[in-house]
Structure 1
């Protein structure tokens, strides 16, 4: 028996220790963790890296291109001997080396426009990442506040249940003393059952909202995920005292969706400039160096062919005796020069300028310019639409926060009044002036008012945070 008690105590100690070690996540920790691990943000960061490499490519357009080449070939069979010009059945080897340099002098300012566009794309990617972070922060804050709302609702239901149990106990005592009829307890028992059902639903809502936030953070250990359940009061904020027009003007300066649209207009302008540059003449300079070597023999001299000392080089009056003859020489060849000497003496250089003037290319330049001009106009319209949407969202957020503030104030006043009505009804119920049904009705009205205060409170907190967000106040403050 003692051993079982010790084991049971040890199990309780381990469970209590494990529970104590569960991390309590604050709102700021949840937001930071989401920003660090969100897959969409990580993908956008890769896009930003790609944009950086695009910039390196644009910078490289200003630099000269330098290339080297080398070749070595074997020629086997009947080939022309470069020293004699005679076709000879032989095997030869040839080596060639070369290098070239090219540089753009003028390309219609395309290199400069490409660099500007690359810088703008880097900026646009950064704005996009910041915008995604803003959206994710709001999503996390909403999920976090939803858990707090569900926990507060659970506390209210549990408190109401405890109060109902006390009323049940007191009513049972009055029934036993003959002060109340037995039927007076039925409404309280039904209300108790209803509250137990509400507690189960509230517990399930807490669990589901906790899992939802964990999934948003990409945390799979749902059992050990818990947020810090500190009391969240209505934050002190003067944002509702600010004119919505001022909030909109501030949002125009800081909101990333506006910055992205403005940057897209600049990118579209650079695309149009690039298409204009494609129709301009281009001027480039080039320089090349080459040298070669071979294993073929070289001519070292000549001698008269002993077998055929002369050769006919002309005929006079179709007479053999009047033929014009000349000595017939055989070329004397020697072994090839050393490779280094051949490379030294066979080198050559070439350099110059190349001008290219586009005259007609099937309307491609014209079509490209018109297409980019249309894209520029679309980007400008998108910017205006973004500003209109932002203004609408700011005014909507302002109105929502104002309405939520009024709703919370009204709910709080209603709860105060319902509490006073309940206290008065409790006194009258205690002396038998009202029956259980009437008392239960008053109690249920108080419960509804308490639940509405919790709902209105967190609805106001979130809508206030959204409005502050447009004004540049971080969601975690």
Structure 2
């Protein structure tokens, strides 16, 4: 038979569980399982990270109220014909320049977008915390369901093993009775077939138990699951007297405590803030700015002038009428070294500041479309809240009906078991004295086993239905600690 990788992994885990029966195992209670899942489940850890992200978003929204301050610095080389930034003279040279500056800006008015964004960020934290709590509650219910399945399979396996022991004793006694000639030899064949069926049922129950343990171990994110086992600390009684409550009372209590309604309400308020933020784009924005700059040059500077001996004069015109040339003395600049850098930074500094007003006139309908889009999301949030309320009402009434039905089924199964036990005892007395054949006795025994299995199934089904009803009434499986 071809076995894929997934099946190989499952078989390895089941083999690990089987080996654990040879060693001492830790017995986990329901409360221990739930608390361990709340601390280690991967899905819950992801929800916790979502809360952390919401906290970071809140810090970002708060930062929008603060000024933005940025510094800048540059150093450049210019080769060829350049204008000296300090003298304004054009000349061929290689020059270096340095500049530094700092700028600041702050929003004075932005259509209340920053205020609404901050309020939205705080609501997002609340929503993410509700989402985390809902995830913790869902995991708690899943753990409880898996835990009770294990207990049910353990009791079922115990019944099957006891049944096998009884049948093996019957086989030994029947062999003695056959040898004594009390019953026919054919009864032995029926009994041997019954024992083979008992062993097959035990194998099925063992597999169900191992798989249920594997499911719970994976839900708890256990790495060492080979020695995993649970202990029965449950009680098939309505300890909190939840069945004495009416469905309407449970529903009214659920409306006050259920996380899904609180989450839907928080999402509705977030949608309202998104509409307010989008409407802020219709309004003008006013901001203030301030800039400081200074610069320095590493080039030589003009310190004076001297007559040009090579070309002492040059004609600049002539006298009208006489055509006598008008001359002027030529001078050449005297260059000196660049002043100290710090002095240049001090002498060349400059500042600018002011206000900037932006008035939205036309933006291709983007602002209006964004508002309409957020209004649609708001309507969806309103419908979602209403739907969550209707779902909660339906779930509460369904849970109450299921719990009531599970109780009636459990009580009926218990009564049936008592009757089957009496019928089995009577059949055993007749079989022991030879007044009943092996086939009829096996039928009575099968009916007793089925009744025992049904009691086990209905017992843990009733316990889980009660847990769900208590869950809606605000009674957690275990108290969930605040983060």
TM-score (norm 2): 0.88
Give 1:466's aligned residue.
Answer: 468
Question: Which structure 2 residues correspond to residues 171-250 of structure 1 after superposition, within 5 A?
Answer: 171-229=174-232, 233-234=236-237, 236-250=239-253
Q: Distance in 2 between matches of 1:250 and 1:318?
A: 116
1:430 aligns with 2:440: no
Question: Which structure 2 residues correspond to residues 84-233 of structure 1 after superposition, within 5 A?
Answer: 85-229=88-232, 233=236
Q: Distance in 2 between matches of 1:164 and 1:311?
A: 136
| Structure 2 contact 42–221 (Cα < 8 Å) conserved | no
1:347 aligns with 2:363: no
Q: Distance in 2 between matches of 1:83 and 1:318?
A: 44
Q: 1:17 to 1:410 in 2, by over 3 A?
A: closer
1:59 aligns with 2:62: yes
Give 2:443's aligned residue.
Answer: 441
Give 1:6's aligned residue.
Answer: none
Instruction: State which of 397, 408, 411 in structure 2 corresponds to 1:409.
Output: 411
| Structure 1 contact 83–299 (Cα < 8 Å) conserved | no
Q: 1:376 to 1:431 in 2, by over 3 A?
A: same
| Structure 1 contact 64–103 (Cα < 8 Å) conserved | yes
Q: Distance in 1 between matches of 2:454 and 2:82?
A: 101
Q: Give deviations 1:363-397, integer Å, cap 9, x for gaps.
A: 11111111111111111111111111122111111
Q: How many equivalent pairs are there?
A: 461
Give 1:383's aligned residue.
Answer: 385
Give 1:74's aligned residue.
Answer: 77
1:261 aligns with 2:269: no
| Structure 1 contact 305–330 (Cα < 8 Å) conserved | yes
Give 1:279's aligned residue.
Answer: 282
Q: Distance in 2 between matches of 1:403 and 1:133?
A: 28
Structure 1 runs not aligned, ≥5 long: 1-15
Shift of 1:30: 2.0
**SS at 1:394's partner residue?**
helix
Q: Distance in 1 between matches of 2:347 and 2:87?
A: 19
Q: Distance in 1 between matches of 2:218 and 2:20?
A: 26
CA RMSD of aligned residues (A): 2.5
Q: 1:18 to 1:382 in 2, by over 3 A?
A: closer
Shift of 1:256: 2.2
Q: Give deviations 1:17-69, integer Å, cap 9, x for gaps.
A: 99554322222222222222222222222222222221111111111011111
Shift of 1:410: 0.3
Shift of 1:466: 1.4
| Structure 1 contact 83–297 (Cα < 8 Å) conserved | no
Instruction: State which of 452, 455, 462 in structure 2 corresponds to 1:453.
Output: 455
**SS at 1:223's partner residue?**
coil
Q: Distance in 2 between matches of 1:288 and 1:179?
A: 115
Q: Distance in 1 between matches of 2:115 and 2:452?
A: 66
Structure 2 runs not aligned, ≥5 long: 1-18
**SS at 2:282's partner residue?**
coil
**SS at 1:472's partner residue?**
coil
Shift of 1:268: 1.0
**SS at 2:293's partner residue?**
strand
